[in-house]
Amino acid sequence: MSPAVRIREFRPGDEGAFRKLNEEWIARYFRMEAKDHEALADPQSSILARGGRLFLAAAGEECVGCCALLRTGADEFEVAKMAVAAAWQGGGLGRRLLEAAVDAARAAGTRRLYLETNHVLTPALRLYESIGFRPVPPERIVPSPYARADVYMEMTLT
């Protein structure tokens, strides 16, 4: 029987799990890019010290999923670095992580959430849409530092 999974915030010592979870999905579908290396090398300085949040799904002591909120403005975050270990996919863990991030953003008075993804990640796209994310109008798309980004979505929280 697998241990119960709980969603919790990042704590020192989670760096390796955060990096591994993201490297696995990125390598499966794409390639690691400079921005990935920056975020994954030191999430404390690249995410948390900049006002971001980082949520982890923990099965016992093992981290099996993650989702970050990157501060992009006074009342805006980007949802990023969302990953669920392959063995844990399909059971609603991604939804739980995303809902925890959205709830935290809403509680912090965030006005808008934004994300970038790729059209080949169909299950992720369905999840984002089911939570309430919608396409960013073409005239408001800001070029991404990621070559793989070709879908841009947002969610208004106020």
CATH of the domain at 97: 3.40.630.30
The SS3 assignment for 99 reads: helix
Q: Judge whether 7 and 56 are in contact, CB under 8 Å.
A: yes
Q: What percent of the chain has pLDDT over 70?
A: 98
Does residue 55 carry a pLDDT above 70?
yes
> Which residue from 28, 121, 133, 127 is spatially nearest to 77, judged by alpha carbons?
133
Q: Domain containing 108: what range?
A: 5-156
Instruction: Give the pairing type, strands 134-135 and 151-156.
Output: antiparallel
Confidence of residue 121 (pLDDT cuts 50, 70, 90): very high
The tally of domains found in the chain comes to 1
Instruction: Please report the pLDDT score of residue 57 as a whole number.
Output: 98
Instruction: Please report the pLDDT score of residue 1 as a whole number.
Output: 40
Q: Read out DSSP for 124-155?
A: HHHHHHHHT-EEPPGGGPPPPS-TT--EEEEE
pTM: 0.94
